[in-house]
A and B are shown apart, each in its own frame.
Chain A
Amino acid sequence: MSTSSIARRKAPVAAPPRQNGGSKRENPMSRGAAMLIMGVFTLYFLTPIWWLFVSSTKDVGEFTTTAPLGFTADAIPNFFGNIGRLFAYNDGIFLKWIGNSVLYAGVGALLGTLFAAMCGYALAKYNFRGREAVFNVVLSGVLVPATALALPLFLIFSQIELTNTYWAVFLPSIVSPFGVYLARIYGSSSVPDELLEAARLDGSGEIRTFFTIAARLMSPALVTIFLFQFVTIWNNFFLPLIMLRDQSLFPVTLGLYAWNSAIGQNPELRSFVIIGAFVSILPLIIAFLSLQRFWSGGLAAGSVK
C-alpha cells in the first residue's frame, strides 16, 4: 500500500516527478486502506464496550438466550430495573464503592496535582541549591513500580494501625512524580520569566503570582496531570487489595473484583458484575469527553524535547 501522494498540510510545493496527481489529491487506494485499518480497529476497541452496554440492558434470563450484541424489546425498562437492583443490592454497597472511588481519585488527584504543580513550577522557575538533586530523585521515582511500594507501605501502616482505613489508600495516592516532571517541563516553556518579573515589580508575592498567573498559564499541563493521576488512582488495584478488609471502604474496582471472585458461590452476582462494570466506566468516559480539549494540549508536554 503506497502512501506516496500525500500533500502534507498546506505545503504549496511542486510535486516531485514520481508523485501521481496534484499535491492536494490523495491516492484513493491509500485513503481506502487507511480508512479500512481504522474501521477494523474501531470495531476491536468499541465492540467489548458495546457488548457490556447491551448486556446491562438484559434481564438475567435474556443474557444467555438473546443475541449478545443487539438490544431486546424491553431494553430500556430492563436497564433501569437492573440499575435499581444493582444500587439496592446489599444495602446499596455499590453506590458506596462508586462514592469511595470518586473520593479517593477526585480528592487524591486534586491534591496530587496541586503539590506536583507547585513543586514542578519551583523546579522550573527558581534556581536553588539541590534543585537538580531533587528533580533527579523525583524522576527516578517515576521508574519505581507502584506494586513494589505497596507491600512495605502495608507493613508500615500496619505498625501505626492505619491499614483498613480510608487514609491507607488515600495518602500514598497523592504523590505523583510524573506530575512533577510534566509540571516542570511545561512550566519552563509556558511561563515567561519576564511575566514573573513584572508581577514581582507590581508587588505580587511569589505564592500569589503562582496561583493567579503561573497556574493559569500551566493549565493544560495541570489538567493532564489531574486526569493522569485520577485514572491512576481510579485503576489502582494492588494498594486497596492489600490495605482494605472492610467492604465499605472499597473502591469500585476492588468491589467488582470481589463480586466477580464470588460468582462461583453466588451466581446471582454475575449480572451485578456486568451492570456494575458498565456503570463504573461511565464516570471516566464522561470525564475524558468533557475535559478532552484541555488535556490534549498538555499530553505532548512530557514527550517533546
Chain B
Amino acid sequence: MTTTSTATSPPTESPGPAKIKRKGLSQRRAILTFVGPFVVLFALFYIVPIAYAIYQSFLTVERDGTFGPATQVFGGFTQYVAVFQNDEFWASVVRVLLFGIVQVPIMLGLALLFALLLDSPLLKGKKFFRLAFFAPYAVPGVIAAIMWGFLYSPTLSPFAPVTQNVSFLSADLILWSIANIVTWVYVGYNMLIIYSALLAIPTEIYEAAKLDGANNWQVAWKIKIPLVTPAIILTAVFSIIGTLQLLAEPQTLRSFSTAINSTFTPNLAVYTTASVPNYSLAAAMSVVLALATFALSFAFLKATQKKAFA
C-alpha cells in the first residue's frame, strides 16, 4: 500500500525497495496509532449503543398471567406499532417541529444580521459586541432555564410589570418562552461561525464588485450571503438536531410552570417512558427520533445544496 508521502518524496532521494517497505510499515503502524483509539471509542460509544437500541426496540415483555414473571421475547415491530399509536409522542414531535420552524429561522436570521453588521464598517467596538453576544453560550441550558424561569416569574422577575401582565409560563406561551431561552443561548455562537466565514472571504472579490458598481446591499446579498451559505447550512443542521433534542430547558422549567407535562418534547417522552420502566418502547422511540433527525438533516442538506449550486 503506497502512501501520498512516498509518492511526493523529492526525486533526488531514491530509496531502495527495502526502505520503502520499512517506511510503509512504520506509516501503517502510525496510521493505526492515530486512528485506532478514536475508532475503538467511536465503536464502543456510538455504534454499539445504536445497535443495542435497535436490538432492544424489537423486544417485548411477556408475562405468564398478570403476576407471572416477566420475560423479554422477540416482538418484531410491536414496539414500533406502539410508537406510531402513541398520541402523546406524536404531539411532542409536532410541538418541536413547530418550535423549530419558528425558532431556527429567527435565530439564524439574527445571527446572520449580527455577523453582517460585525463585518461591515458601520460598527465601533466590534470586539465588545462579539463577546457580549457570545457570552450566553457559556451558560448551560439548565442554568439558562433556571435563570429565565426566575425572569419569567410574575413575582420574582426584575420585569414584574411585564411578567404580571404577560404569563410567559402559561400553556399558551411556554413553548415560545423556551424558544426565547434557546435563541438567547445560541444566537452568538451561530453569529461567530457565520462571522468567521465572512472574514475568510478574500477582499479582492469586494474590490471587483465595487468596480462593477455594486452597492453594499448588493454586496451583502449577492456575494457575502452566498459565500457564507456553507456556514449557514452547518449552523442550520446543528440547530435542527438541537431542536429535536430539546430536553434540559423544558425539564428544568417544569419546576416553574405546570404547563409542561412529562411528554412535552420527544426526549422528555423517551425519558418518561424509560423511567416507567419500558425500555423497549423507549428504545423504539429513540430509534424513530434518531431516524427522523437524520432524515430532516439530510433533507435539509439536499434541499439547500440544490439551491446553493443551481
Closest to B47 in A: A137
**What separation, in Å, do the CA atoms of A6 and B144 have in the docked complex?**
37
**What separation, in Å, do the CA atoms of A125 and B30 have in the docked complex?**
11
Closest to B52 in A: A152
Complex partner residue of A116 from B38, B44, B45, B53, CB under 8 angstroms: B38
**What separation, in Å, do the CA atoms of A116 and B114 have in the docked complex?**
31
B71 interface hit (Cβ, 8 Å): no
A/B interface sample: 11 pairs, CB < 8 A:
A6-B120, A8-B219, A9-B121, A44-B184, A48-B144, A119-B34, A148-B53, A197-B9, A238-B248, A303-B235, A304-B231
Residues of chain A having any CB pair with chain B under 8 Å: 2-11, 13, 16-19, 23, 26, 30-31, 34-35, 37-38, 41-42, 44-46, 48-49, 51-52, 55, 63-64, 68-69, 115-116, 118-119, 121-123, 125-129, 134, 137-138, 140-141, 143-149, 151-156, 171-172, 174-175, 177, 180, 193-194, 196-197, 200-201, 205-207, 210, 231, 234-235, 237-238, 241-242, 253-254, 256-257, 260-261, 263-264, 273-274, 277, 280-281, 284-285, 287-289, 292, 296, 299-300, 302-305
Asked whether, in the complex, the Cβ of B203 is within 8 Å of the Cβ of A11, the reply is yes
**What separation, in Å, do the CA atoms of A10 and B302 have in the docked complex?**
37
Residues of chain B having any CB pair with chain A under 8 Å: 1-5, 8-10, 13, 23, 26-31, 33-35, 37-39, 41-42, 44-46, 48-50, 52-53, 56, 110, 113-114, 117, 120-124, 129, 131-144, 146-151, 155-158, 184, 187-188, 192-194, 196-197, 199-200, 203, 206-207, 209-211, 213-217, 219-220, 228, 230-231, 234-235, 237, 241, 244-245, 247-248, 251-252, 254-255, 267, 270-271, 274, 279, 282-283, 286-287, 289-290, 293-294, 297
Closest to B217 in A: A3
Asked whether, in the complex, the Cβ of A261 is within 8 Å of the Cβ of B255, the reply is yes
Known contacts A206-B26, A256-B143; decide if A242 and B271 are in contact (CB<8 Å).
yes
The residue in A44, A145, A264 that gathers the most chain B C-beta atoms within 10 A of its C-beta is: A145
The 5 closest A-B pairs by CB, nearest first: A68-B158, A206-B30, A300-B196, A303-B231, A122-B34
The residue in B33, B42, B129 that gathers the most chain A C-beta atoms within 10 A of its C-beta is: B42
Across the interface, which residues of B come within 8 angstroms of A285, CB to CB?
A: 135, 138
CB distance from A174 to the nearest CB of B (A): 6
Across the interface, which residues of B come within 8 angstroms of A127, CB to CB?
A: 2-4
Across the interface, which residues of B come within 8 angstroms of A261, CB to CB?
A: 254-255
Across the interface, which residues of B come within 8 angstroms of A126, CB to CB?
A: 3-5, 27, 30-31, 34
Across the interface, which residues of A come within 8 angstroms of B192, CB to CB?
A: 296, 299
Asked whether, in the complex, the Cβ of A151 is within 8 Å of the Cβ of B210, the reply is no
**What separation, in Å, do the CA atoms of A180 and B194 have in the docked complex?**
21
Complex partner residue of A153 from B45, B144, B146, B241, CB under 8 angstroms: B45
CB distance from B188 to the nearest CB of A (A): 7
- Supplied contacts A18-B215, A143-B237, A149-B49, 8 more A-B pairs, CB within 8 Å: A11-B207, A19-B215, A38-B129, A51-B147, A127-B2, A175-B45, A284-B139, A292-B131
Across the interface, which residues of A come within 8 angstroms of B286, CB to CB?
A: 147-148, 151-152
